[in-house]
């Protein structure tokens, strides 16, 4: 059963693929190359490189979580600012994902090649991310 976030990602992915038929064809070829005519399995899903690149770029342009809030549990220095314990910091992911300095001149364009080298595996990555990506790949 798909959750609300998964449904939103599928909708955005379908929107992007309808606007970029060439990507739709590449994704189809990726699936056929990995699975052929056999039923998809968990191991094979991890080998869908083109599909993963498309999904990551969809998440960059259409983030499902638009605000991350973190708090300090001890005194910290952020740049030149000292943050006391208990300070809450909010990060607007949409602004980060559309930052010209981070993503370049084509920041507003869909470009799945940005993720051709994969993505980093942060130590505090969302526990549901892997599940959500597998769920999206299955659909």
What Cα–Cα distance (Å) separates residue 22 from each residue in 27, 45, 47, 123?
9, 21, 20, 35
> For residue range 74-125, what is the model confidence (pLDDT) as tens digits?
999 999 999 999 999 999 999 999 999 999 999 999 999 999 887 665 444 4
Please give the C-alpha separations between residue 17 and each of 11, 29, 71, 101, 125, in angstroms, as whole numbers. 10, 14, 38, 26, 27
SS3 (DSSP) at 89: strand
Work out how many domains the chain is built from and give that number: 1
CATH number at 14 reads: 1.10.630.10
- Determine the structural domain holding residue 112 and report its residue range: 4-138
Spatial distance between the Cα atoms of 112 and 109, rounded to a whole number of angstroms: 10
Cβ(60)–Cβ(83) below 8 Å: no
pLDDT digits (tens, 9 = 90+) for 39-59: 988 889 889 999 999 999 999
């Amino acid at each position: 059963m798909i959750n609300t976030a998964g449904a939103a990602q599928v909708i955005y992915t379908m929107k992007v693929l309808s606007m970029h038929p060439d990507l739709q064809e590449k994704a189809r070829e990726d699936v056929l190359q990995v699975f052929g005519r056999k039923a998809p399995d968990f191991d094979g899903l991890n080998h869908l490189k083109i599909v993963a690149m498309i999904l990551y770029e969809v998440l960059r342009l259409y983030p499902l979580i638009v605000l991350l809030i973190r708090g300090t549990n001890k005194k910290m220095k952020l740049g030149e600012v000292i943050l006391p314990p208990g300070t809450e910091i909010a990060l607007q992911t949409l602004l980060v994902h559309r930052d010209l300095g981070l993503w370049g001149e084509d920041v507003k364009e869909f470009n799945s090649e940005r993720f051709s080298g994969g993505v980093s595996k942060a130590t505090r990555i969302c526990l549901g991310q892997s599940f959500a990506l597998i769920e999206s790949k299955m659909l």
